[in-house]
Amino acid sequence: MKRSFEEGEKDDLAERIALSCYNQFNLLSSRGKPSSNEWTHLAGFVSVKDDNTIQVLSIGTGTKCLGGDKDERGTQGCLLHDSHAEVIARRALMRFFYEEILNENNSILIKQEKNKFYLNKSIRLYLFVSYPPCGSAAYVSDPIKRPKFEHKSLNASGEELYLKPGKGFQTTSLSCTNKINRWIYQGIEGTLLNQLILSPIKLSGLIIQTNTDLSSIFKDIPVISVKESFDYGPSSQRTRPCAMSIAWWAGLDPSSSVITVDGYPLGQVKKLRHKQQYANSIAKCSLFKLYLQLMDNLSSKTTTYAQAKALSSSSLRNQFMLDNPQWIITDPNIFYSFTLSS
């Protein structure tokens, strides 16, 4: 009896997490939201306290990924290649973490000493996704979506790696299933923020709106399916994917959500695209700027993004790369050689 009660509690919490993400999305301004015949996907990172109160930390929507022909070289870290909902939500979460640290308003990341933080021990972190993530999870849920020619399937330590489909050109971005599994393994904080925390930030669970059991796809983490569906997901009325992505994080005014189209801020004129001061606030260069504000031992003028990334010594990351030799790695010396220009 006790066990079923706990199971019921868990399911109820998962449904409430899904609803909290939908509600947060509904609070955002209409900018970047799908029109009546368009659909999108939603992802959100949420914290849950010991008493099961939920806080949505970040939200992402989006369905697009730029092809591999869109070269990041020379873009000064302003271009976003991958605008799938999960990836946008994670970037927004990074932004939230940096702002928490910089504003010394540490409720989620707790300060132990200068530039050493840990995840608040009284909270658990979950990722919610409004659909089975692209790649293996999507294919298991709907075999019709099995990869066509534009996907590339590689075998690496038993897990299949899939590239995201792109328009025209193949992308160089791995599927969200692959990326989420990497976050589950090594922590979600990434190589820059990793240098500011004491131990990797691990997810406590993955919550997915689906009828399919996806626990064999996402191993080593509880995977909970929820029923409550996203009003803006694909349907008979909503037949076209929305080209815009929305990012929001806790602390950002809901009317100021960050909109990305084709990798750049909505409406931005071409001549400003590679100027970092006009970049999307979740772009690499923008997060790099926040990182350098904290790392006062590094020169903000001469340190390249690649050099900053190389300072991370995450043993889990190193192990992940050893276990996944075919993981797509961007050559940092070519693509991440930019510095901050202002």
Residues that bind Zn ion (CB under 5 A): 84, 134, 176
Smallest distance from Zn ion to CB 41, Å: 7
Q: Between 197 and 247, whose beta carbon lies closer to Zn ion?
A: 247
Closest of 11, 3, 27, 39 to residue 240, by C-alpha: 39
Q: Between 42 and 94, whose beta carbon lies closer to Zn ion?
A: 42
Smallest distance from Zn ion to CB 307, Å: 30
What kind and span of H or E run contains 86?
helix 85-102
What kind and span of H or E run contains 264?
strand 264-265
Q: Between 13 and 137, whose beta carbon lies closer to Zn ion?
A: 137
Q: Between 151 and 274, whose beta carbon lies closer to Zn ion?
A: 151
Q: Between 127 and 340, whose beta carbon lies closer to Zn ion?
A: 127
- What's the CA gap between 257 and 183, in Å, rounded? 24
- What's the CA gap between 149 and 5, in Å, rounded? 47
Smallest distance from Zn ion to CB 240, Å: 17
- What's the CA gap between 196 and 218, in Å, rounded? 27
Q: Between 84 and 309, whose beta carbon lies closer to Zn ion?
A: 84
What kind and span of H or E run contains 43?
strand 42-49
Closest of 62, 79, 85 to residue 286, by C-alpha: 79
Smallest distance from Zn ion to CB 254, Å: 24
Indicate the pairing of strand 258-261 with strand 240-241.
unpaired
Smallest distance from Zn ion to CB 32, Å: 17
Smallest distance from Zn ion to CB 24, Å: 20
Indicate the pairing of strand 223-226 with strand 205-209.
parallel
Residue type, 127: L
The residue assigned the tokens 């589950």 is 184
Closest of 75, 77, 79, 45 to residue 65, by C-alpha: 79
- What's the CA gap between 132 and 296, in Å, rounded? 41
Q: Between 80 and 134, whose beta carbon lies closer to Zn ion?
A: 134
Please give the torsion angle defined by the CA atoms of residues 291, 116, 114 and 318, in that order, rounded to the nearest 10 degrees: -60
